[in-house]
Amino acid sequence: MIVKSKNFILKISIFYTVIFFIFIAIPTYFYTNLELENYKNTQNRLLIEHAQSIQRTIYDFSNSKSDTFIFPKSFKFEATLLTKDKKIIYKTRDLNFNKTSKMSIEIELSNNRLNAKYLQLSKKISFDEIYFKILILTLFIGLFIFISIYLVIKASIEPFKKANEYLDAFFNDAMHELKTPLGIIQLNLEILENKQKKSKELERSINATKNLFLVYEDIEYLIKQKSVKYNKEKIDFTYTLNQRLDQFESLASPRNIKFKLNIKDNISVLINRTHILRIIDNTLSNAIKYSFKDTLITVELIKNKNDIFFSVHNYAKAIKNKKNIFNRYHKENHIKGGFGIGLNIVKNICDANNIDIFLDSTNENGTIFKYTFLSNT
């Protein structure tokens, strides 16, 4: 649970950090363009300053009596003196600038002793430093935002996490405390049933206790399913199903609902015992709960080559929304009671064990739940 909680906080933090980056993408774009423009202006100013320095040197030479002209050189600049006809008078060492990574200017010169009319200057430019700065700035801001969101969310859900832990502990203790008295009640009711004549009051009490046990087992499974590992074992499906049907006959008899059985012998399946019991109990319980009075519930367990088929067919009102019937807390009929967790448990178990569920429900033909198991005999 702790690992899942940390993963949840991490995912939410990443999600909101990404959202933040999306929102700042446009301002970052304009800021980057502004930085690039400032950089270009700075490099252009350096070109102009160096060009002015060369101009002064040329003019100083023109006004002097010296016969030797010393050209101001720099490893940062590539300079070329041209005549009026664009013929090269002098050119500094070629610095092999890439066309896409250099900035150039051309200045027209006044009359001078070198007969130079134009001065061309080029300088290498690189935006790597700007992009690197933007990247580092973005990473620092992103990291700050991520850590801030992570800490805020963690602090926010901590009370809920503790409350959830308290609830889990409470339900575990409550379920543990309920099981013993429920067992005692059921045992004493069965003893009374053997000692005295059958009565409606006693039969109702026994059935109510059985229903309580069904609800108890569903809730217990929901509480333990994330912490308990349900190992598979070879289960005698035939024996288990017949055993559970004996338990459910008393629940069906008050409404004069009978079972019609087609259960083949010696059918086994590889599954956890708790899982198969939850499938059987919830399917039979729903069939009894929603069936019309004085009807039959057909229960089949057959084997066909590599597949095992378990089906329960009852006559009741058609299920309106077959897509939502397996959703937790969904109930077709609120008057019938229940928590709406039984079929959700069945669906999760079937998904975990690669069991195919077929559901058909009409007013004319009733409702059938059919489960297909792979044979593991």
Q: Which amino acid is at 358?
A: F
Give yes or no for a contact between 256 and 293, defined as CB atoms under 8 angstroms apart. Answer: yes
Q: What are the E-state strand segments in the chain?
A: 77-82, 88-91, 102-108, 118-124, 233-236, 258-263, 268-271, 296-304, 307-314, 356-362, 366-374
pLDDT tens for the chain, 377 residues long, are: 444 566 777 888 788 788 887 887 888 888 888 988 998 999 899 999 999 999 999 898 888 888 888 888 888 888 999 999 999 998 887 777 666 678 889 999 989 888 899 999 988 888 888 888 888 888 888 888 888 888 887 777 777 677 666 666 665 666 556 666 766 776 777 777 677 777 777 777 777 777 777 777 777 777 777 667 888 899 999 999 998 898 888 888 888 999 999 999 999 999 989 899 989 988 998 899 889 999 999 999 999 878 899 999 999 998 887 878 888 766 655 445 555 678 888 998 999 899 999 999 999 999 999 999 976 54
* pTM > 0.95: no
Radius of gyration from C-alpha coordinates of the chain: 43
Phi, psi of 155 (to 5 degrees): -65, -35
Please list the residues that pair with 298 across neighbouring strands: 260, 313
CB atoms within 10 A of CB 299: 24
Residue 1 confidence (pLDDT): 45
Report all structural domains of the chain as residue ranges with CATH numbers, in order of start. Answer: 2-126 (no CATH), 230-374 (3.30.565.10)
Give yes or no for a contact between 117 and 110, defined as CB atoms under 8 angstroms apart. Answer: no
Residue 377 confidence (pLDDT): 42
Relative to beta strand 118-124, strand 77-82 is antiparallel
Relative to beta strand 258-263, strand 118-124 is unpaired
